[in-house]
Structure 1
Amino acid sequence: MLLEELLNDFPRERFLREHYQRKPFSGRAAAERLRELGTWSVVDELIEKTSCDLLLARQGVPYAGERPRTAREAHALFEQGYTLVLRQPDQHHAGLSQLARTFSAELHGRINLHLYCTPAGHHGFGWHCDPEEVFILQTSGRKDYLLRENTLHPAPLPEALPSGALAAQETTPVETRALSAGDFIYIPAGHWHMAQAPEEALSISIGLMAPTLLDVLDLVRANLASNPVWRRRLPALGYASDLDDVKKLEVLRTLFAGLGGELQRALSDPSLPLKFLAQTARFYLRSAGLKGSGR
């Protein structure tokens, strides 16, 4: 099991009980074999031979130019202090695809995988938080991670991420974790963090978006959408309606009560948990596959 490889001698059950979705964890990773997936040769190949998305930023400011098409162009920008971020490289590289799919299968979530190349003495991004559970494998060099608990906007959703400026208003203590080549760190979803590179550093960031209860409602909604009753439009509710405000509210309360009953019946379906696990697992694994593989 990959998670156990990363945890080395730290018990998986204890990690899941005490750290996962709760507090950061860092240590010396046993999965040394994964370091070959985060090298300059892999980065250069992805830049030159694939359409992998490439983001560049320096001291929190995004690069405004065009995507570098050659490794030489990318390295020139790196020398100017720009962090290179290759986004979803697992869609273009078999080894990274297998890494993403393994994480997805072990922890059940959608994977958002990035490769980071950070020049010495720089940082690409300031304080921020992610909606995913983040596992970072340091493949070369060193990075220092500043961490603090998010009490102002915990458990953020991708569509409603708080601004990094909010981190400055936190009163929680800041801690530092130093990672050298071969180390890894786990950062819970929503936890404030930023990284600084005292020396040139490469790392693989594996963001795992675990499902929420809102995802269960999405599945139920899809089932309700197959019934024409729930696709029917509501009556006219604007100024032209022949219903007064009291009557409009009565109509809506009746309809909402009916919807509540349907939701209760759907959520009580004993087959729903199995359907939810099966559908989400298939979706997560497909999204982590090689681009155009059809898996």
Structure 2
Amino acid sequence: MLLDELLNGFPRERFLQEHYLRRPFTGASAAERLQRLGTWETIDFLVEETACDVLLARQGVPYPGDRPTTAKAARELFAQGYTLALRQPDLHHPDLAQLARAFSAELHGRINLHIYCTPAGHHGFGWHCDPEEVFILQTAGRKDYLLRENTLHPVPLPESVPSGSLAAQEKTPVETHSLSAGDFIYIPGGHWHMAQATEEALSISIGLMPPTLLDLLDGVRAALASSPVWRRRMPSLGRASSLDDPSKLALLRTLLSELGGEVQRQLADPGYPLRFLAQTARFYLRSTGIRGNGR
């Protein structure tokens, strides 16, 4: 199992109970086999031969120009201090696709995979947090990761990620985790973090978004949407309505009661947990993998 390999002898059950979804974890020299996936050879291929999205930033400021289309152009920007962030390379590279699928299958979540190339003495992005659980595999060089707990907007959703400027208002202590080639770090979702390369550094970042309790409601909504009973429209509630305001409120209370009863019935269905697991697993796996290398 990939997670066991990364933990390198640290008990998986202990990691899941004490760290996963809770607090950071650093593994020393636990990802050496995976170093070959994050090399300049891989990066050159993704830049030149695929349509992989490439984001560039220097000291927190995005690059204003176009995406580089040659390895030479990419390395010239790197030499100018720009961090290269190759986003979702698993859609273009079979070995990275396999890595994404393994994480998705083992921890049950949607994968958001990146490769980062950061020049020595630089950082690409300032303080920020991610909604995903983040596993970073250091494949070359050395990087210092600065982390602090997020108490101001913990457990963010993808649609409500707070601005990094909020991190400056935190009172929680800053931890420094130094990674060398082959090491990895786990950063819980919502934790503030930024990274500074002490020498030229390459890394693979695997963001994993597990299902939330709200996703259970989304599954019920999808089931209700298949029925015309729950797709029916409400009567006019505007000024032209024949109903006065007390009658409108009474109608809405009745409808909410009916809807609440049906949602409760759906959630209590003994077959729903199995359907939810199967449907989400298929969705997560479909979101990884090769989708074509053409531009």
Note whether the superposition's TM-score is higher than 0.5.
yes
Is the contact made by 1:137 and 1:182 (CA closer than 8 Å) also made in structure 2? yes
Q: How many angstroms apart in 1 are the aligned matches of 2:27 and 2:63?
A: 33
Tell me which moved more, 157-166 or 283-292.
283-292
- 2:278 matched residue in structure 1: 278
- What's the C-alpha RMSD, in Å, of the aligned pairs? 0.9
Where do residues 34-113 of structure 1 align in structure 2 (5 Å cutoff)? 34-113=34-113
- 2:151 matched residue in structure 1: 151
Where do residues 1-295 of structure 1 align in structure 2 (5 Å cutoff)? 1-292=1-292
How many residues align? The count is 293
Q: Any idea what the Cα deviations from partners look like across 1:160-190, whole Å, max 9, x if unmatched? A: 0011111111111101000011110000000
Is the contact made by 2:135 and 2:187 (CA closer than 8 Å) also made in structure 1? yes
Secondary structure of the residue aligned to 1:147 is strand
Residue 30 of structure 1 and its aligned partner are, at CA, apart by 2.8
Distance 1:27 1:256, change over 3 A: same
What TM-score do you get using the length of structure 2 for normalisation?
Answer: 0.98
Identity of aligned residues (%): 76
Is the contact made by 2:143 and 2:180 (CA closer than 8 Å) also made in structure 1? yes
Q: How many angstroms apart in 2 are the aligned matches of 1:79 and 1:30?
A: 29
What TM-score do you get using the length of structure 1 for normalisation?
Answer: 0.98
| Runs of 4+ residues over 4 Å off in structure 1 | none
Is the contact made by 2:27 and 2:185 (CA closer than 8 Å) also made in structure 1? yes
Secondary structure of the residue aligned to 2:259 is helix
Q: How many angstroms apart in 2 are the aligned matches of 1:87 and 1:70?
A: 17
Residue 290 of structure 1 and its aligned partner are, at CA, apart by 1.0
Residue 292 of structure 1 and its aligned partner are, at CA, apart by 4.5
Structure 2: runs of 5+ lacking an equivalent: none
Is the contact made by 2:156 and 2:162 (CA closer than 8 Å) also made in structure 1? yes
Q: How many angstroms apart in 1 are the aligned matches of 2:141 and 2:9?
A: 23
Q: Any idea what the Cα deviations from partners look like across 1:77-99, whole Å, max 9, x if unmatched? A: 11111100000000000000000
Q: How many angstroms apart in 1 are the aligned matches of 2:160 and 2:30?
A: 35
Q: Any idea what the Cα deviations from partners look like across 1:198-245, whole Å, max 9, x if unmatched? A: 111000000000000111111111110111011111111112212111
Q: How many angstroms apart in 1 are the aligned matches of 2:65 and 2:239?
A: 50
Is the contact made by 1:89 and 1:96 (CA closer than 8 Å) also made in structure 2? yes
Secondary structure of the residue aligned to 1:9 is coil
Is the contact made by 1:121 and 1:196 (CA closer than 8 Å) also made in structure 2? yes
Q: How many angstroms apart in 1 are the aligned matches of 2:84 and 2:238?
A: 52
Is the contact made by 2:31 and 2:137 (CA closer than 8 Å) also made in structure 1? no
Secondary structure of the residue aligned to 1:171 is coil
Q: How many angstroms apart in 2 are the aligned matches of 1:268 and 1:162?
A: 34
